[in-house]
Structure 1
Amino acid sequence: MKTRIVIAILASCLILAWVTAYRTRQNTPELNRMESRPRPKLIIKWKPRNKATAVPVSTRNQLPTAARPAANQLNSKTNNNSMVESPYNEKPAPPRVPAVVGQHRATPAKNKYRATPAKNKYRATPAKNKYRATPTRVPVICRSNEQAKIKSTWFASRINRNVPVFLNKVNSSLAGSARRWWLSNMHRKDISLDAAIRNLIEVVPGLASIRENRASCITCAIIGNAGNLQGSGYGNLIDSKDFIIRANKSPTKGFERDVGALTTHQIVYPESADGYHPGATMLVLPFKEADIRWLASIFTTKNVTRGFWRHVPASVSGASPEKTFTIHPAFLHYVHTVWLSNPPGKWPSAGDVSIVLGLHICDELHVMGFGASKYNRWDHYYTARNANAGLPIARIHHPAVKEASLRNKLQQDGIINLYPGKA
């Protein structure tokens, strides 16, 4: 009897609790709406900073406060540049620290040095490009000749920078052994050399130097008239030099491919002045007193027409006193005695005088158009080449053998660049 009473009481309590819970649920609609609402899904976006890191941008802040998931419920198992949908109840991933990881990956030591390697650093400003970028020419030592001049004791024992090169008001006197040597080669002994020189200086004052205060390396082409220039193809090489010095009659028209087209300086004496290139600086060789009187007359009286072995022009077309220089007689004596070892009864040729002159006014010398033909004759590039062309070496009024030895020695010591031409 008692057991039945207890069971009835418990059943009554259960029924009362269920009825109470039901009524409570009916009276709270907000709670019913939350339970019936579908659970929202969280969308995670990864916006990469660089190849090494990515910062997640979450849209969970857009959800209601009651529906926001906890931070540890987000799924971080994702790849860069991807979109991942993650439910709330997914197992959370261990926390990540993108800033620390990205910091080391963004600037690794290897990439840091790759950006500015030592090799590229020096390639950016090499010494060669540094000087090429300079708009004006800088003073430099020439490619090889200047160094060779320093090393050659033979050259150092002969070069004399104190010898006057051009005749002017400062050095117009001629005395000593140079005067005696120069007068001994003249036929007339009753002339006044000093008066002739003073008269010339009044017409052609000259300059002490022909370099025009140039500080940079001056390259020169010294061109003779030898027949080995035919077919040589030196024309472009010759025209690329600063000074292009020719001797005597040296036509260029029709021979440009072999001898070039330009002339900056031309060495002449009265008998060869008819081959002068108008506009070039005229360098006159005074082998005798009559040559000094002739040079003064072509700009004044024009009354000297008689030369040593032929008539000479009374005037020279295109020449002017401002671009005319007289090679000093003492310089001829210097070439004859020092460089050619004083051969008796022989004058130095205009070609070899131009080479020694180049040693004084140039820094780098390129010499071509010298030497005898294979027939041992002095022929010319503007005439036919055969066994009868030119004069035999024995009939030349210049020390041809010694001049050839001089050129070869200068080439051997690296003082000049001697071109053999086409045999």
Structure 2
Amino acid sequence: MIGLRHRNLKLFTVALAFFAITITSFLLNYTQNSVLDMWNPEKYFHFSGPLARFLASMRRPCGCETCVSEMDISLWFDEKFNVTFSPFLTKENGFISESTYKWWTRLQGERNPMDINKAMEELFKVIPGESSLQDRSPYQCRSCAVVGNSGNLKESDYGGEIDSHTFVFRMNHAPTEKFEKDVGNKTTHHFVYPESMRDLPENVSMVLIPFKTLDLQWLVSALTSGTINFTYAPVPRRIKVAKEKILVYHPEFMKYVYDKWSLHHGRYPSTGLLSIVFALHICDKVDLYGFGADSKGNWHHYFENNQAAGAFRQTGVHDGDFEAELIGNLTSIKKISVFKGR
């Protein structure tokens, strides 16, 4: 009888140990998976209705209802959008491949350019060459208004709506004075190239789109000696802009836009398209204003009186029709919203 009891006790002990090992293994595995999949509780439980929508929102890269950088929505978008590309030329992000450099220096037929590494060295002695603009948060919703110069902004009453965005991007000449009701008066970033540069308020960031090494040299000159006043056209000898507010569009990013987005249509992408793809990479919500023709089919700028004088659809440099189609595709998959006037 005693031997039977000892035998039963041993069996019970073995069973208890096996049970403890099994439970411990399960808990360790569950804990590990819970940490790895903390944003994916549906792996273990099934939810529906408002709770399912809430859990889905917890996995988004931003705090908006939808986020530009969300993937697995459109294969077309996923094949084009490369989150690893930074729009900025900085001290830490100054590499330009040989193939990109050759393409870039041909854009405006630059001859005998300064060594690009020397040009960047001189540039970052003058400007900080830093940017935190790409720092995203799942708890924020950064909305961006990309404001073009189309005549469809006239009598649109979009001013207040445009100014309500976190960031407002404008480009080239783009005056706001006397047009505030339709285009707003807020600007956070202004996209220019040397030939379209104008003085900017101290609170506005300048985004230089360089098309040649001389453009980088011009920026250094315009902030220091003022010796360069001509590229292929007259340019300002000096500019009034805070040095810490200057950003430089990366030639590699420009090539990425040309290769992946405009698919080699035109000689190079328009300032408008370069601004839009820039916005896709730093914004959570992108709204476009002032792009395309007006309601009568005229292509002109909102600040021009003569509609025919500012026709800019066919430039011989950009493919306006293809870029319009691209904008339409982005709109159809809800990556951007386009406001065409009222």
Which TM bucket (shorter chain)?
A: 0.7 to 0.9
Matched, 1:256 2:210: no
Aligned to 2:130: 207
Which amino acid in structure 1 is aligned with residue 150 of structure 2?
A
Helix, strand or coil for the counterpart of 1:210? coil
The separation in 1 between residues aligned to 2:215 and 2:194, in whole angstroms, is: 6
User: Does residue 1:184 correspond to 2:124, yes or no?
Assistant: no
Aligned AA (2:144): C
Contact 2:136–2:282 (8 Å) recurs in 1: no
Equivalence for 2:155: 231
The CA distance in 2 between the partners of 1:373 and 1:261, in whole Å, is 21
Gaps of 5+ in 1: 1-125, 128-138
Equivalent residue of 2:223, what SS?
Answer: coil
Identity %: 35
From the superposition, tell whether residues 262 and 196 of structure 1 become closer, same or farther in structure 2 (CA, over 3 Å): same
TM-score by length of structure 1 reads: 0.62
> 1:246: which partner in 2?
170
Conserved? CA contact 1:220–1:241, under 8 Å? yes
**2:269 pairs with 348, 351, 354, which one?**
348
Tell me, in whole angstroms, the C-alpha distance in 2 between the residues paired with 1:140 and 1:331: 23
What secondary structure sits across from 2:144 in the alignment?
A: strand
Q: Does the residue aligned with 1:217 lie in a helix, a strand or coil?
A: coil
Cα distance in 2 for residues equivalent to 1:149 and 1:417: 18
How many residue pairs are counted as aligned between the two chains? 283
How far the C-alpha of 1:199 sits from its partner, in A, is 1.0
Separation (CA, whole Å) in 2 of partners of 1:146 and 1:172: 26
TM-score by length of 2: 0.76
Aligned-residue offset at 1:279: 2.2
CA–CA distance in structure 1, aligned partners of residues 316 and 305 of structure 2: 19
Given candidates 373, 389, 398, the residue that maps to 2:309 is 389
The alpha carbon displacement at 1:161 in A equals 1.5
Which stretches in structure 2 are left out of the alignment for 5+ residues? 1-49, 52-60
CA 307–376 in structure 1, closer or farther in 2 if over 3 Å, else same? farther
* Secondary structure of 2:162's aligned partner: helix
Conserved in 2, the CA contact under 8 Å of 1:226 and 1:370? yes
Cα deviations by residue, 1:142-176 (Å, 9 ceiling, x for unpaired): 12344875411111111112223111111212114
Distance 1:350 1:226 in 2: 13
Q: How far apart in 2 are the matches of 1:284 and 1:363?
A: 22
* Aligned AA (2:339): Y
CA contact (8 A) 2:134 2:282 kept: yes
Which aligned pairs between 1:108-119 and structure 2 lie closer than 5 A? none
Q: Which amino acid aligns with 2:173?
A: K
Aligned to 1:330: 252
Alignment-mate amino acid for residue 370 of structure 1:
F
RMSD: 2.4
Structure 2 equivalent of residue 195 of structure 1: 118
Looking at CA atoms only, which structure, 1 or 2, has the larger radius of gyration?
Answer: 1
Distance 1:340 1:211 in 2: 23
Q: Pick from 197, 200, 204: which aligns with 1:273?
A: 197
Measured in 2, the distance between the counterparts of 1:280 and 1:143 equals 28
Letter in 1 for 2:281: H
Q: Is the contact between residue 149 and residue 174 of structure 2 (CA under 8 Å) also seen in structure 1?
A: yes
